[in-house]
Chain A
């Protein structure tokens, strides 16, 4: 009953609905790209290069005469799963580090100095440095962005643990003889989950941005690949002549960042009892 209440509350939130709708749409685009795409995304046709939207080519063609619409559909297959993978890397490293750091005081110093070290560099710079070490390529960018985001998760979770650790029910669990691991997994982690969910949605926006930026800078997806950041990069030399080559992929990056942001904001509002239901 309580669960239904929360679920309904999430559904009733307009920001969440907007975010979810756009993301769902993009996901479907990615999944059904072969069916939806009017052309082969890699088919080069110099005779119709730089075309603005026209019949058969809904979003026009790029500098090699490839169908931008088809490329964007296929691009969803790269951007969204890789961003999720990156987020997963960040969470798999960051959350346990934060739990340990917050719960076991002796580990706190070590783990937090390590995160300080990572956080001392601006996120993008850090990701570029990691790509420099690993070499360029989509998967390396995914790893780099994931590693760069992990310390932020560690920080967030540690803070939550420090306050949850003081809760009487944690003390009570100790007095009934529960072990440290048990308390972390059964009592502390589940109580951080809502905070983590909100934060993860917000971070997804940052991750998509970073991955696209790195691709734009030529470190991620390489030339023919239909990745949104790389596509924007490919069109950047022709901005004067054919703005749409860069503009359309950027609009899709923008929409996905926006929808993850709205999703995060929406979840936060829905879970925050101080903001009354229904409005926003």
Chain B
């Protein structure tokens, strides 16, 4: 499903956080492309740089302490990192929209939801308050809220988490943006509501929206993704099509993650765990995952593996795959 020009392309993004004289690299050389009508999932544990990547795209990192050291974020060929605040405001919401993990607190408790959607519309479209209100009703209908004409007058506390996430999605859709960044959109919701919200997001793909879905739930990945990026400590460890990733993971970290999923009918005493835990400091040299890897060799301890291109759209940052592909990026 490769298409000519990707909607969003990130190239060699590096983000540092400076705190009290210490520098932590939260994102280290991340590159990927998001195509039209694609759902790209980024998975990784907390602190792997998923959300920082998303906030970099939106230009919403707090600078300082964060600093984008290098890299390009190209939206339809335009480098967002070089855009001024005013241009970025047009892009946020107008072209690239974002939804968050906590729908309960993502809306201002003081205003009815309809008013908040209408405000978002009027930031980017020249319509009057009444037209915006009508558009808000249509949007709520589209995201599956029953009797939207009445519901637009509800305050956020009168709605459930699932409904609020629908409202957030309606706001994200309000200006006909092309890209939706969803940062763990279902984490705070219970399972049945999760499925409904995911269905809704999957439906947007049919309208050729491109979706960047950030999650740590591999179940969500399996259900939603076209392509998957696995991140660990700020680096891409593996990129693959979703079926390939689950059938034959090409990186020990991915393998470890897949093994940790509990399966029905499997009666083991304990679940598999990846030994150790993610640490604050990257190893000074060698592979980031080396200290926790069961296949670690001496080489892994000394030099950082590049991303090896195993096939089209299939990358792995592991020395074990050295002979199967060509190095994509050298560090």
Docked CA distance A179–B85 (Å): 9
For A176, what are the chain B residues with a Cβ–Cβ distance below 8 Å?
92-93, 97, 120, 123, 171-172, 174
Report the minimal beta-carbon distance from B158 to chain A, rounded to whole angstroms.
9
- Which residues of chain A in 238-258 are interfacial with respect to chain B, using CB atoms and an 8 Å cutoff? none
Find out whether the CB atom of B91 lies under 8 angstroms from the CB atom of A177: yes
Q: Provide the main secondary structure of the chain B interface.
A: mixed
Report the minimal beta-carbon distance from A222 to chain B, rounded to whole angstroms.
46
Find out whether the CB atom of B60 lies under 8 angstroms from the CB atom of A175: yes
The answer to the question of A186 belonging to the interface, with a C-beta cut-off of 8 Å to chain B, is yes
Residue of B nearest to A193 (CB): B110
Docked CA distance A172–B120 (Å): 10
For A121, what are the chain B residues with a Cβ–Cβ distance below 8 Å?
none
Find out whether the CB atom of A169 lies under 8 angstroms from the CB atom of B108: yes
The answer to the question of B209 belonging to the interface, with a C-beta cut-off of 8 Å to chain A, is no
The number of chain A residues with a CB under 8 A from chain B is 18
Find out whether the CB atom of A172 lies under 8 angstroms from the CB atom of B107: yes
Find out whether the CB atom of A177 lies under 8 angstroms from the CB atom of B108: no
For A167, what are the chain B residues with a Cβ–Cβ distance below 8 Å?
105
Residue of B nearest to A170 (CB): B108
For B37, what are the chain A residues with a Cβ–Cβ distance below 8 Å?
none
For B108, what are the chain A residues with a Cβ–Cβ distance below 8 Å?
169, 173, 186-187, 190-191
Report the minimal beta-carbon distance from A4 to chain B, rounded to whole angstroms.
14
Chain B window 90-134, contacts with chain A (Cβ cutoff 8 Å), 1 for yes, 0 for no: 111110011010100111111000000001100110000000000
Q: Provide the main secondary structure of the chain A interface.
A: helix
Find out whether the CB atom of A172 lies under 8 angstroms from the CB atom of B168: yes
- Which residues of chain B in 61-96 are interfacial with respect to chain A, using CB atoms and an 8 Å cutoff? 89-94
Interface centre among B60, B93, B171 (most CB of A within 10 A): B93
Residue of A nearest to B158 (CB): A2
Report the minimal beta-carbon distance from A226 to chain B, rounded to whole angstroms.
44
Find out whether the CB atom of B110 lies under 8 angstroms from the CB atom of A175: no
Docked CA distance A136–B60 (Å): 51
Find out whether the CB atom of B91 lies under 8 angstroms from the CB atom of A168: no
Docked CA distance A177–B60 (Å): 11
Docked CA distance A171–B110 (Å): 16
- Which residues of chain A in 162-185 are interfacial with respect to chain B, using CB atoms and an 8 Å cutoff? 167-169, 171-179, 182
- Which residues of chain A in 147-172 are interfacial with respect to chain B, using CB atoms and an 8 Å cutoff? 167-169, 171-172
Find out whether the CB atom of A175 lies under 8 angstroms from the CB atom of B58: yes
Find out whether the CB atom of A169 lies under 8 angstroms from the CB atom of B105: yes
- Which residues of chain A in 72-103 are interfacial with respect to chain B, using CB atoms and an 8 Å cutoff? none
- Which residues of chain A in 186-239 are interfacial with respect to chain B, using CB atoms and an 8 Å cutoff? 186-187, 190-191
Report the minimal beta-carbon distance from A12 to chain B, rounded to whole angstroms.
21
For A173, what are the chain B residues with a Cβ–Cβ distance below 8 Å?
108
Find out whether the CB atom of B100 lies under 8 angstroms from the CB atom of A168: yes
Interface centre among B89, B108, B124 (most CB of A within 10 A): B108
Find out whether the CB atom of A177 lies under 8 angstroms from the CB atom of B123: yes
Residue of B nearest to A179 (CB): B89
Select B107's contact among A169, A182, A190, beta carbons within 8 Å. A169
Find out whether the CB atom of A171 lies under 8 angstroms from the CB atom of B120: no
Report the minimal beta-carbon distance from B132 to chain A, rounded to whole angstroms.
13
Find out whether the CB atom of B110 lies under 8 angstroms from the CB atom of A177: no
Given contacts A171-B100, A172-B168, A190-B110, contact A177 B93 (CB under 8 A): yes
Chain B window 159-176, contacts with chain A (Cβ cutoff 8 Å), 1 for yes, 0 for no: 000000000100110100
Given contacts A2-B155, A186-B119, A190-B110, contact A175 B105 (CB under 8 A): no
Docked CA distance A172–B97 (Å): 9
Report the minimal beta-carbon distance from B97 to chain A, rounded to whole angstroms.
7
Docked CA distance A270–B239 (Å): 55
Given contacts A2-B155, A171-B60, A186-B119, contact A177 B90 (CB under 8 A): yes
Residue of A nearest to B62 (CB): A105
Docked CA distance A190–B174 (Å): 24
For A182, what are the chain B residues with a Cβ–Cβ distance below 8 Å?
123
Docked CA distance A190–B172 (Å): 24
Residue of B nearest to A172 (CB): B106
Report the minimal beta-carbon distance from A193 to chain B, rounded to whole angstroms.
9
Report the minimal beta-carbon distance from A271 to chain B, rounded to whole angstroms.
13
Report the minimal beta-carbon distance from A214 to chain B, rounded to whole angstroms.
39
Find out whether the CB atom of B106 lies under 8 angstroms from the CB atom of A168: yes
For B102, what are the chain A residues with a Cβ–Cβ distance below 8 Å?
168
Question: Would you mind naming 6 contact pairs between A and B with Cβ atoms under 8 Å apart?
Answer: A168-B105, A169-B108, A172-B168, A174-B58, A177-B120, A191-B109
Question: Lowest 5 CB-CB distances: which A-B pairs, in order?
Answer: A176-B93, A177-B93, A175-B98, A177-B92, A168-B105
